[in-house]
Amino acid sequence: MATIGDVAREAGVARSTVSAVLNGRKLVLPDTRRRVDEAIAKLNYSVNAGARALATSRTMTIGVVVRFHQAEFSPALATYLVAMSDAASERGYSVMLLTDVDGAGAVRRAIAGRRVDGLVLLSVVDEDPRLEPITEARFPAVLIGMPLERHGIDAVDLDFGAGARLLVDHLADAGHRAATFVRWPDELYRAGSTYAIRFADAAREQAAARGLDLVEVACPVGPDQVRRALGDELRRPDAPQAVLVHNDAAAAMLPFALRDVGFEVPADRSVVSLHSADLAHLYALPFTSVESEPEGVVRRAVELLLDRIADPAADPVSRLVPPRLVHRDSVAFRRPT
Amino acid sequence: MATIGDVAREAGVARSTVSAVLNGRKLVLPDTRRRVDEAIAKLNYSVNAGARALATSRTMTIGVVVRFHQAEFSPALATYLVAMSDAASERGYSVMLLTDVDGAGAVRRAIAGRRVDGLVLLSVVDEDPRLEPITEARFPAVLIGMPLERHGIDAVDLDFGAGARLLVDHLADAGHRAATFVRWPDELYRAGSTYAIRFADAAREQAAARGLDLVEVACPVGPDQVRRALGDELRRPDAPQAVLVHNDAAAAMLPFALRDVGFEVPADRSVVSLHSADLAHLYALPFTSVESEPEGVVRRAVELLLDRIADPAADPVSRLVPPRLVHRDSVAFRRPT
DNA sequence: CTGAAAGCGCTTACAG
DNA sequence: CTGAAAGCGCTTACAG
């Protein structure tokens, strides 16, 4: 493999001159630049990223720390990772995958080995143990997720609170006065899942404000159990005419549960949901809904991280990505009773 | 951040001595080693991976080239990526994500920038354009997928042919003489999807050998269309009593399609399938089946790659991971007619 | 067994 | 505008 020295020799200039044209610095005579470019092409030269990293102490790679969490909906993870890599490479960065059951250890090692310029943490929860090594080293990082206590670390996430309000308003605007709120299992809230908590809190508050009665149902785990639980709930004689869903498994199974009990949407039930965009696509979910925005969230995260790398001392920033309501005619208008 | 020089000074030895203990070389007096270890602990030193890479010309990272393919079942991708990272880090390697619509370009750049010691290509198809830059540079790489022409590149994949034979045998052993073969859309075969082709070829051959009539149904794309197509097929009066599935969307929708037409498994239909392990888990698929083995395949791929990096001149190897049949009582015994 | 020296392939002041 | 020199943080022969 050719080195910068080979190119310099071929072009009859100093290595620093080659470096100058490589880095697009001015102050190189057009003619010299041309000779260097020719030498580069002739030798098929390409700069050694590692050597450059050592000289500049910038690796031009960001680490993405994925939390290993069987319980959650993993299919969406690939979308986040690919989007991350795409967004990063647009800005000249590469992405290194950091997986380890011991997330804090992975973070610590990544920082210590100086293999990355910054970190993106996926699926951040409240009291996330991965935050400590970051604050300790004052290392550039951004959280995807919005824990209550961010310890001065930048964070970005979909605005789940606003999403909940959008959905509740949509039901209330259509004249509904009560809704079944199908939500995640209790464990998820206890585990500090920030999006689940923010959605539920906002949903309750907005429902109260709009005079919508919320009947909460915590879903079990596992497709069959979910389907059965939904069926039982739908069959209840005093069940509300509307369903508000924040639970990917439930959103996926609801069409089947509705069919099980012979209900049509929106004739028998109005349904709104907030769920993963991947899930919606995979199951072709037919509900008016707010969907996660992996590309938007990830793009913001990468922007924030590069800003942070550029200016480590700037004030910490938290960014909520505004949710969008996608209409799919799953809500019927009810006359106020 | 402390450097090796700081440690050497602290311990009162030469930098080369620190390097020796760092790399576990013998020939360091126990006492010296102890002093060095103490200095390392005191300074919280950790070797700079980039500098080491430059000195050794081994980056200790492998690149994974993911092909961006909306049509396929992406949810499984995350499992492959995480498994890859886990397997790599067990061996002291990191994983860099290489995503680019231009796969060949991504490969070329990764090789040129010397950011990785080797490459793993995901979802390889026949005539895959990413192979050329690899053979051209004689760069260590392994394919996940088994294209007809491997150009001397190592490859590993689940043995889809053996999987097909296992399933066909299972039906034939149970006395079935005919089966509906629900397979992928024609485009996938035309696109050179190696697993689809190998499964279909082996299924046909084994079915012929075992006297099992195969009625082929190429599934459409999209959950609703798939479900409808399956329902139509099941309702056909002359349809076989058995169903052989190789199509993830169909496997996922089949339980619902069966319910749509009021069929029980295995009473009304015997079903066997080969599908993604992630899919099986996500939908809790109740079929006797062969499942993809992401962890096994990925682990083998990483092993092969590290072997290749260690010995670039060794003969190319192709490894088929043996499939396992998981029994779920979805096949009924039929008396020979 | 330990240490001084050269080198990995770059970049970046700094003279000229 | 160009080039010689030092340095980034390691490793690896090679003397001693």
Is any atom of strand C within 7 angstroms of residue A304's beta carbon?
no
* pLDDT over threshold 90, residue A72: no
A289-306 pLDDT tens trace: 999 999 999 999 999 999
Give pLDDT tens digits for A12-24.
Answer: 988 888 998 888 8
pLDDT of residue B71: 44
Strand partners, B54: none
Q: What is the pTM of this model?
A: 0.93
A208/chain B closest Cα distance in angstroms: 35
Residues 6+ apart with CB under 8 A from A2: A43, A44, A45
Half-sphere exposure of B221 (CA within 13 A, CB side): 9
CA B147, B153, B156, B162 torsion: positive or negative?
A: positive
Average pLDDT, chain A: 92
Q: Which of B53, B99, B223 sits opposite A82 (nearest CB)?
A: B99
For residue A71, the model assigns a pLDDT of: 45
| Residue A289 CB neighbour total at 10 angstroms | 26
Query: Which of A48, A64, A86 lies at the smallest CB-CB distance from B114?
Result: A48
Interface test with B, best of A4, A115, A254, A285 (most B CBs within 10 A): A115
Q: Looking at the predicted structure, is the pLDDT value of residue A288 above 90?
A: yes
* Residue B67 identity: R
Q: Tokens 């990544």 — which residue?
A: A110
Q: How far is the CA of A133 from the C1' of C8 (A)?
A: 32
**Residue among B53, B64, B75 whose CB faces A278 most closely:** B75
Q: What would the two tokens of residue A276 be?
A: 């993963």
pLDDT at B66: 92
Q: Is the omega angle on the peptide bond into residue B237 within 30 degrees of 0, that is, cis? A: no
**A125-148 pLDDT per residue, tens:** 999 999 999 999 999 999 999 999
Pick the closest to residue B125 from B187, B40, B209 (CA basis): B187
Task: Give the pLDDT score at B336.
Answer: 57
Instruction: Please give the residue that has the higher pLDDT: either B21 or A118.
Output: A118
Task: Write out chain A residues lying below 8 Å of B50, CB-based.
Answer: 50, 53-54, 59, 114-115
**Reported confidence tier of residue A337, pLDDT bands at 50, 70, 90:** low
Distance from residue B114 (CA) to nucleotide D11 (C1'), in Å? 18
More confident residue, A206 or A30: A206
How far CA A52 is from CA of A46, A48, B2, B113, B285, in Å, comes to: 11, 6, 20, 10, 50
Instruction: Calculate mean pLDDT across residues A154-170.
Output: 98
For chain B, the farthest-separated pair of C-alpha atoms sits apart, in whole angstroms, at 88
- Per CB-CB distance under 8 Å, the chain B contacts of A89 are 99-100
A68 vs B53: CB contact, 8 Å cut-off? no
Check residue B67 and give its pLDDT: 80
Nearest nucleotide from residue B27 CA, by C1' atom: C1
Peptide bond into B223 cis (omega under 30): no
Kindly report the nearest CA distance between residue B98 and chain A, in angstroms. Answer: 7
Q: Is-contact B293 B320, C-beta < 8 A?
A: no
Query: How far, in Å, CA of B334 to CA of B337, rounded?
Result: 8
CB A243 within 8 A of CB A265: no
Beta-carbon separation of B97 and A85 below 8 A: yes
Please name each of the domains of chain B with its CATH number.
4-47 (1.10.260.40), 61-157+294-321 (3.40.50.2300), 160-292 (3.40.50.2300)
Q: What is the C-alpha to C-alpha distance for residues B123 and B195, in angstroms, rounded to an integer?
A: 9
Inter-chain residue contact B1 with A78, CB threshold 8 Å? no
DSSP B123: S
Residue-wise pLDDT tens digits, A77-96: 889 999 999 999 999 999 99
Structure tokens at A111: 């920082």
Nearest CA in chain A to B101: A86
Task: Find the nucleotide nearest B114 (Cα to C1′).
Answer: C9
Q: Which nucleotide is nearest to A114 (CA to C1')?
A: D9
Look at chain A and count its residues: 337
Nearest residue (Cα to C1') for C3?
Answer: B14
Contact B86 A74 (CB under 8 A): no
Q: H helices within A97-222, ranges in order?
A: 103-112, 131-137, 160-173, 186-190, 194-210
Q: For nucleotide C6, give the residue with the nearest CA to its C1'.
A: B55
In a mutational test of the A interface, the residue from B94, B279, B302 whose CB has the highest number of chain A CBs within 10 Å is: B94
**Which residues interact with strand D by a CB < 7 Å criterion?**
A 12-17, 20, 26-29, 31-32, 51, 54-55, 57; B 1, 3-5, 15-16, 18-20, 22-23, 45-48, 51-52, 54-56
Reply yes or no on whether the pLDDT at A330 is more than 90.
yes
B267 CB and strand C closer than 7 A: no
**Is strand C within 7 Å of residue A16 (CB)?**
yes
Taking contacts as CB-CB distances below 8 angstroms, the residues of chain B near A81 are 77-78, 81, 97
Give the β-pairing of A118-121 and A141-144. parallel
Cα atoms in the Cβ-side hemisphere of radius 13 Å centred on A111: 22
Strand A270-275 versus strand A118-121 pairing type: unpaired
Tell me the chain B residues in contact with residue A95 when contact means C-beta distances shorter than 8 Å. 96-97
> Angle at the Cα of A306 (from A302 to A310), degrees rounded to 5?
170
Q: Look up tokens 């020979």; give the residue.
A: B336
Q: Which residue stretches of chain B have pLDDT < 70?
A: 26, 68-74, 335-337
Can you list the pairs that B290-295 forms with residues at least 24 positions away whose Cβ atoms lie under 8 Å? B290/B163, B290/B166, B290/B167, B290/B323, B290/B324, B290/B325, B290/B326, B291/B324, B291/B326, B292/B76, B292/B158, B293/B158, B293/B321, B293/B323, B293/B324, B294/B76, B294/B79, B294/B80, B294/B83, B295/B79, B295/B83
Residue B281: what pLDDT? 85
B23: buried, middle or exposed (CB in 10 Å: 19+, 13-18, 0-12)?
Answer: exposed
Q: Do residues B105 and B96 lie in contact, with contact meaning Cβ atoms separated by under 8 Å?
A: no
Quote the pLDDT of residue A260.
87
Question: Nearest CA of chain A to the CA of B271: how many Å?
Answer: 19
| Mean confidence (pLDDT) of chain B | 92
Burial class (CB in 10 A: 0-12, 13-18, 19+), B126: middle
In this complex, which of B84, B94, B256 lies closest to A115 when CB atoms are compared?
B94
Predicted pLDDT at A256 = 86
